[in-house]
Structure 1
Amino acid sequence: MDRPRGKKPSEAEKKQAREVSLRRIGSLFTAHRWSLAIVVLIIVVSSVLAMASPFLLRAVIDDALPHADVRLLVWLVLGMVAVAAVTSALGVVQTWISTGVGQKVMHRLRVDVFTHLQRQSIGFFTRTRTGEVQSRITNDIGGMEAVVTSTATSIAANLTTAVATMVAMAALSWQLSLVSLVVLPPAIFLSRRVARMRREITAQRQRELADLNVTIEEGLSISGVQLAKTMGTAPALISRFTASSNRLIDLELRSELAGRWRMAAMSIVFAGIPAVIYLAAGLPFTRGTMSIGTLVAFTALQTGLFRPLMGLLNVGVQLTSSLALFARIFEYLDLTVEVDEPAEPVRLADPRGDLRFEDVTFAYPGSESAAVAGVTLEVPAGTSLALVGETGSGKSTIASLIARLYDPTAGRITIDGVDLRDLALGDLASIVGVVSQETYLLHTTVLENLRYARPDATDEQIVAAAKAAQIHDKIAGLPDGYDTMVGSRGHRFSGGEKQRIAIARTLLRDPRILVLDEATSALDTETERAVQRAFDELAKGRTTVTIAHRLSTVRDADQIVVVDHGRVLESGTHDTLVGSGGRYAALAG
């Protein structure tokens, strides 16, 4: 998924880009087939109408002008103007419909990718750079816009125009038509070679854009800027960004110039054909076989044929090079959902909050050892469980499993006897509330941050939750109160204040099970006691799982479990465990 900076694309990446199915790309337009059919019909009508102009021109030169027939000349000129007006109007309608279809396809791709990524487990986001994900949604889908919005109509328009033009040319002179079309085989061959070149360059360019996005994400976020300033690494970041941007310049130039001299040669050949036609018309064996009007009309058609033929070839080049973009988007759409919705979810009408671990084992992807190994726990509804242990012992992993951020490798976790994997994710989120040690606040107001957890919450409910989390007085004392902007990642507030806002946000959901993963780690002793008293009050009738390094915050828990290397070493109440003289007693001492 992620690729070290500067590394060339692997064979697997190249193979994936080659195997993008044109049928799959075409399926994106299936829902809009009737709109596209109307566009094609408009294109056919426009192309057929446009073919009348050369014949009107021939009549002007051969009939109206030599015979000074003003009446005929007026009608022919009016006909030429009418053809131009009608085809222009049809072109506007065609552009409106086709652009609308293209934008809807782009919208669907963006939403599908975003939705599918929302369904991915936390493991995916720990393996993938944030800038890489953003680049797929913005740069890659944005890069496909020209192809998606205009390819189908360009093919239809250019193909129809080319066919109609060739038919008209053959009607005027089939001999000269053969001379005009002799250039097609080398043009097709060259355009195919150019397409392959651009496709490879496009893939490299998008990977470089992703690297650039990562540099921006790492270097210009609040945390990134603070790190750079305190570590003195700003010059290195600037150099890295500059090098990446320079590589993009080279790739953009290569993309634009790929095969350009070949296509320029073809343009010269196409432009030289009218001269060859004039020469052929003046040779002894062809002299007198056609009128001046026919010759002028034919060269006008031949010149008009150049545009759709080159358009078709360019569309082919553009489509082939864009396959690299489709490959990157389809790669994300094809990601396996590790933590998915159940096919037939079980509904808990009135959850009690009875939590059980039944011989649960879990290993992170790529890890040789289990983070949680054979854990069996029972937390009756309304009771409290405290998980203690050294850093890295597996406590936070157990908390993540309760919220189903991951699924167990073996065993199962149940709420009221129902496996978590059988509950709808939305239902589980309403039952289990998590406050972690890493607080994330949105860049909006305090009120909107709280309402994010429960959009229909009243102001009174929000204030009540804030009071319970011991943060209301602080918010109310701000100049803008609950309308205060928290800043990027909540940097307007201290660590303790951010955690109390996060606690209030979770409490607003009124979950039956509370998971507090170092939830008070950033609080000072006095504030921690106040929040702990609030938790004690709110925990009544609620199942609570608390993870803490400070044993003073968990000594009153109904059940304390000591975890080490993912295994349960001992469990019991505070007094029982201290009396047994085991690991807990050593930690407490």
Structure 2
Amino acid sequence: MESTTDRGRGPRPTTSTVTAAERAQARDVSLRRIGRLFAPHRGALAAVTAIIVLSSALGMAAPFLLREVIDVALPERDLRLLAWLVAGMVAVAAVTAALGVAQTWIATTVGQRVMHRLRTDVFRHLQRQSLAFFTRTRTGEVQSRITNDIGGMQSVVTSTATSVAANLTTVVATAVAMAALSWQLSLVSLVVLPPAVVLARRVARMRRAITAERQRELADLNVTVEESLSVSGVQLSKTMGAGGALVERFTASSARLIDLELRSELAGRWRMASMSILFAAIPAVIYLSAGLPMTAGRLSIGTLVAFTALQAGLFRPLMGLLSVGVSLTASLALFARIFEYLDLPVEVREPEHPVRLARPRGHLRLEGVTFTYPGSAAAAVAGVDLDVPAGTSLALVGETGSGKSTVAALIARLHDPTGGRVTVDGVDVRDLSFDDLAAIVGVVSQETYLLHTTVRENLRFARPDATDAELERAARAAQIHDVIAALPDGYDTVVGSRGHRFSGGEKQRLAIARTLLRDPRILVLDEATSALDTETERAVQRAFDTLAAGRTTVTIAHRLSTVRAADQIAVLDHGRVTELGSHEDLLGAAGRYAALAA
């Protein structure tokens, strides 16, 4: 619809504006809201936590078994004790490994279900958005948020909770075990903790900023692919000779993405590397401490070996905790982008208590209807009053931009009027459920969209339960059955991307058949025959004349020959009805309609 596309498109936000908005939202993302995503899986998370605690407790037994081996079994040559200790060490390793498999399975299942919920929630919420949202939002941007942003959160969602629990439990258990062996050496080992936390916080802030920038670049890359590699985009680039420029644009975007990925991976890496060196030096300090005069002789060799084993085991979970903190903070930019879509207000809402029309007749009325597109100063439709009794026809004529398509969009409730109301059988369309309204009002627009699937499935998109006989009946009524039958696979022929296998007229007749399959009481035909040649247009018009019996029809057309027989003809000019009457009446009035017909 030309008005929707042209007037509904708001100003494209600049990069700086988007960046500022995303940064502000990233600050507002709360960990509590992220935590609520896991609320339905409390039982599974409790099981994972229990497994983690048990696994950590078992893991702490290994150093003590090692100490007994070194201090008792080997010096005393107690083979029986040695066998039991070695068997215990093997059993601990085996049970810990089995618990690890169970933990991974449960945690991954929970994470994937959370991802599934995020994807479906975003998709469902976007389905509720009005047409205006999609006219001002790039398609590639929407796809990027559903795929790249949610995909980027996968490692955080699937592993963060369990990683935090596992590493935290291991750190605590290890610290307790170390203190039990030697609290003095424990203080020496934990002296590196404060600087490690400070460095991790700095790295996390760096990662979050880079992540937000990387996701914006990914969205731009998606937009380039969507605009350039669709059938229409390829046709445009080839006919305009713009292929080289598009390749350069894609290459530049991909190169920027490489730089951002490298920056993201290397952000703060030298700082964390310094921590690794510091942790690696701790065992040497422990050996030195054990040899000092004040501690000499107080620690057995077994205790010292067990302690250094614990200390080495402390490094991995402690660094894991710090890394999780970095990843979680960086992922806040991704959560901000997803929550931004989930928090979008729904401009056209489903009624809480919808009114049911058991037997709709199709009496259509527009009462003082006014509508202004967001960001536009002038009203696209202003104070329109029209009364179309059930079973009659109304034609809307006027110059491009006069508001014809906007009126059609308001009837189908693609937008809600900013003033006045549209009613069907006396019921405001805002009080009807979307499904009921779609069953009552059928729309065939000048822009035909066909899915990349078979002709049969394209038709069944309107009514999945339709029989083959009903499909054929609708196709015959739309004068397209013979064309389909002549195809190699008939109704099982794949139409191609966006239906480019068919001519413009054939696509429109397929769209007409798809709408007629729903058998709506009100037909809205927005330039539905604009792409048809004169002979085919006459054939389709005859089909419309037959199908319009007992059906309310609203027709928008530039060719006045297609609206002569309408019961009423409304002439629109700058969103207002300036003339209303039959073809003969308007010709006799010698007004705007007569000038258009001349």
Q: TM-score, length-normalised on structure 1?
A: 0.99
Deviation at 1:343, TM superposition (A): 1.0
Deviation at 1:377, TM superposition (A): 0.3
Matched, 1:445 2:454: yes
Give the secondary structure class of the aligned counterpart of 1:584: helix
What is the match of residue 156 of structure 2? Answer: 147
Matched, 1:358 2:367: yes
What is the match of residue 205 of structure 1? Answer: 214
Matched, 1:111 2:120: yes
What is the match of residue 523 of structure 1? Answer: 532
Distance 1:430 1:155 in 2: 51
What is the match of residue 287 of structure 1? Answer: 296
What is the match of residue 572 of structure 1? Answer: 581
8 Å CA contact 2:22, 2:337 repeated in 1: no
Of 256, 266, 270, 2:265 maps to 256
Deviation at 1:232, TM superposition (A): 0.6
Deviation at 1:9, TM superposition (A): 4.8
1:452-511 Cα offsets, whole Å, 9 max, x none, are 100110111100000000000010011100000000000010000000000000000000
What is the match of residue 179 of structure 2? Answer: 170
What is the match of residue 392 of structure 1? Answer: 401
Deviation at 1:19, TM superposition (A): 1.0
8 Å CA contact 2:210, 2:263 repeated in 1: yes
Matched to 1:419, the amino acid is D
Q: Superposed, which structure 2 residues align to 1:510-589 within 5 Å?
A: 510-589=519-598
Matched, 1:426 2:435: yes
Bigger RCO of structures 1 and 2 (CA < 8 A, at least 6 apart): 2
Distance 1:8 1:124 in 2: 18
Of 9, 12, 15, 2:24 maps to 15
Deviation at 1:285, TM superposition (A): 1.6
Matched, 1:93 2:102: yes
Matched, 1:240 2:249: yes
Q: Superposed, which structure 2 residues align to 1:116-195 within 5 Å?
A: 116-195=125-204
Of 349, 355, 361, 1:346 maps to 355
Q: Superposed, which structure 2 residues align to 1:457-468 within 5 Å?
A: 457-468=466-477
8 Å CA contact 1:430, 1:509 repeated in 2: yes
What is the match of residue 3 of structure 2? Answer: none
Deviation at 1:6, TM superposition (A): 5.8
What is the match of residue 39 of structure 1? Answer: 48
1:544-576 Cα offsets, whole Å, 9 max, x none, are 000000000000000000001000000000000
Give the secondary structure class of the aligned counterpart of 1:560: strand
8 Å CA contact 1:2, 1:129 repeated in 2: no
Distance 2:82 2:108 in 1: 39
8 Å CA contact 1:475, 1:481 repeated in 2: yes
8 Å CA contact 2:123, 2:146 repeated in 1: yes
Of 497, 500, 509, 2:509 maps to 500
Of 485, 488, 491, 1:479 maps to 488
Distance 1:310 1:332 in 2: 34
Distance 2:209 2:27 in 1: 10
Relative to 1, partners in 2 of residues 1:434 and 1:8: Cα closer, same or farther, differing over 3 Å? closer
Distance 2:69 2:538 in 1: 97
8 Å CA contact 1:195, 1:318 repeated in 2: yes
Of 216, 224, 227, 1:215 maps to 224
Relative to 1, partners in 2 of residues 1:371 and 1:445: Cα closer, same or farther, differing over 3 Å? same
Distance 1:506 1:555 in 2: 23
8 Å CA contact 2:370, 2:419 repeated in 1: yes
Matched to 1:240, the amino acid is R
8 Å CA contact 1:2, 1:128 repeated in 2: no
What is the match of residue 412 of structure 1? Answer: 421
8 Å CA contact 1:372, 1:398 repeated in 2: yes
Deviation at 1:5, TM superposition (A): 7.3
8 Å CA contact 2:362, 2:425 repeated in 1: yes
Q: Superposition RMSD on alpha carbons, in Å?
A: 1.0
Distance 2:59 2:593 in 1: 89
Matched to 1:577, the amino acid is L
Give the secondary structure class of the aligned counterpart of 1:104: helix
Count how many residue pairs are aligned between Structure 1 and Structure 2. Answer: 589
Relative to 1, partners in 2 of residues 1:159 and 1:2: Cα closer, same or farther, differing over 3 Å? farther
Q: Which runs of 4+ in 1 moved over 6 A?
A: none
Distance 1:460 1:100 in 2: 44
Distance 2:224 2:86 in 1: 61
8 Å CA contact 2:22, 2:333 repeated in 1: no
Distance 1:26 1:174 in 2: 36
What is the match of residue 383 of structure 2? Answer: 374
Distance 1:16 1:94 in 2: 34
Matched, 1:403 2:405: no
Matched to 1:584, the amino acid is Y
Distance 1:586 1:6 in 2: 48
Deviation at 1:167, TM superposition (A): 0.3
Matched to 2:274, the amino acid is A
8 Å CA contact 2:571, 2:592 repeated in 1: yes
Distance 1:43 1:4 in 2: 47
1:207-262 Cα offsets, whole Å, 9 max, x none, are 00000000000010000000000001111111110111011011001000000000
1:521-550 Cα offsets, whole Å, 9 max, x none, are 000000000000000000000000000000
Matched to 2:513, the amino acid is A
1:163-186 Cα offsets, whole Å, 9 max, x none, are 000000000000000000000000
1:12-68 Cα offsets, whole Å, 9 max, x none, are 321111110110000000000110000000000000010000000000000011111
Q: Which moved more, 1:34-43 or 1:4-13?
A: 4-13
Give the secondary structure class of the aligned counterpart of 1:485: coil
Distance 1:336 1:256 in 2: 36
Deviation at 1:2, TM superposition (A): 9.1
Give the secondary structure class of the aligned counterpart of 2:175: helix
8 Å CA contact 2:12, 2:136 repeated in 1: no
8 Å CA contact 1:353, 1:382 repeated in 2: yes
Distance 1:508 1:77 in 2: 75
Distance 2:515 2:460 in 1: 10
